[in-house]
């Protein structure tokens, strides 16, 4: 499947891996993919995923800010937070207390450890595994491409897949107004206009 990825889609995957490694995560998750997709460094504005976001009037900076806020809350999805609220647990209050004692962002992903008895930095692995959600997103991006009869997978296919696969990245996109339906419609309109 990776051979069908365009240059910008490959850059998204590579950047997601780099983000996961830099944060000390054990796996690439959907939020790493989302952060990489909305980063303007890999694509020209108005093309790929950035073009779809513009078509649904969602700013990449808004998505990036929402990802930071979600990570600040331990990466809990809206479903997770509602379930905890339903049993009487106030996630916002817990985050506030933890940050009061340990500093802002204390519940975010860990930073890379320096590890080892000699204090050497942890080596970056050549292969970073993908979490189940991230794998489902990449598989869904292939379906997105097939649905619009594209013979390649670009970031414009990864973005709607991120919105369609349930989890934290889908929550961020949906809360910002980039629903799976709106993104798919924007992708289809771009194909019809081409």
pLDDT of residue 42: 60
Whether 158 is covered by a domain: the verdict is yes
Q: For residue 23, what are the contacts with CB-CB under 8 A and spacing of at least 6?
A: 32, 109, 110, 111, 112
Tens of pLDDT along 74-102?
877 777 888 889 999 988 888 888 888 88
pLDDT of residue 109: 58
Whether 116 is covered by a domain: the verdict is no
Q: If you average pLDDT over every residue of the chain, what do you get? A: 85
Whether 124 is covered by a domain: the verdict is no
Tens of pLDDT along 48-80?
899 999 999 999 999 999 998 888 888 777 778
Whether 119 is covered by a domain: the verdict is no
Distances from the Cα of 189 to the Cα of 12, 62, 75, 158, angstroms: 23, 23, 33, 17
Q: What is the CATH number of the domain that holds 26?
A: 1.10.1780.10
Mean pLDDT of 114-130: 53
pLDDT of residue 181: 96
pLDDT of residue 190: 87
C-alpha span between 105 and 107 (Å, rounded): 5
Whether 98 is covered by a domain: the verdict is yes
Are the beta carbons of 181 and 188 closer than 8 angstroms? no
What is the 3 state secondary structure string of the chain? CHHHECHHHHHHHHHHHHHHHHHCCCCECHHHHHHHHHCHHHCCCCCHHHHHHHHCCCCHHHHHHHHHHHHHCCCCCHHHHHHHHHCCCCHHHHHHHHHHHHCCCCCCCCCCCCCCCCCCCCCCCCCCCECHHHHHHHHHHHHHHHHCCCCCECHHHHHHHHHHCCCHHHHHHHHHCCCHHHHHHHHHHHHHHC
Total of domains in the chain: 1
Tell me the angle at which helices 168-176 and 60-72 cross, rounded to the nearest 10 degrees.
130
Whether 121 is covered by a domain: the verdict is no
Whether 117 is covered by a domain: the verdict is no
The span from the first CA to the last CA of the chain, in angstroms, equals: 25
Query: Tokens 């779809």, residue?
Result: 52
Are the beta carbons of 28 and 135 closer than 8 angstroms? no
Whether 76 is covered by a domain: the verdict is yes
**Is the pLDDT score of 153 beyond 90?**
yes
Determine the structural domain holding residue 97 and report its residue range.
2-111+131-193
pLDDT of residue 10: 93
pLDDT of residue 41: 61
More confident residue, 14 or 45: 14
């Amino acid at each position: 499947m990776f051979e069908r990825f365009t240059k910008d889609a490959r850059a998204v995957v590579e950047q997601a891996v780099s983000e996961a490694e830099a944060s000390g995560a054990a796996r690439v998750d959907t939020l790493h993919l989302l952060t990489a997709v909305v980063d303007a460094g890999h694509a020209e504005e108005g093309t790929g995923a950035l073009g779809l976001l513009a078509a649904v009037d969602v700013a990449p900076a808004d998505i990036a800010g929402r990802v930071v806020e979600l990570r600040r809350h331990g990466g809990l999805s809206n479903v997770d937070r509602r379930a905890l609220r339903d049993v009487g647990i106030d996630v916002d209050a817990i985050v506030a207390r933890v940050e009061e004692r340990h500093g802002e962002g204390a519940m975010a992903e860990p930073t890379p450890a320096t590890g080892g008895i000699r204090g050497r930095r942890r080596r970056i692995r050549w292969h970073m595994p993908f979490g189940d959600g991230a794998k489902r997103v990449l598989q869904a991006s292939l379906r997105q491409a097939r649905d619009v009869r594209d013979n390649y997978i670009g970031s414009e296919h990864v973005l709607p897949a991120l919105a369609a696969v349930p989890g934290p990245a889908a929550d961020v996109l949906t809360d910002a107004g980039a629903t799976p339906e709106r993104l798919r419609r924007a992708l289809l309109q771009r194909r019809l206009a081409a």
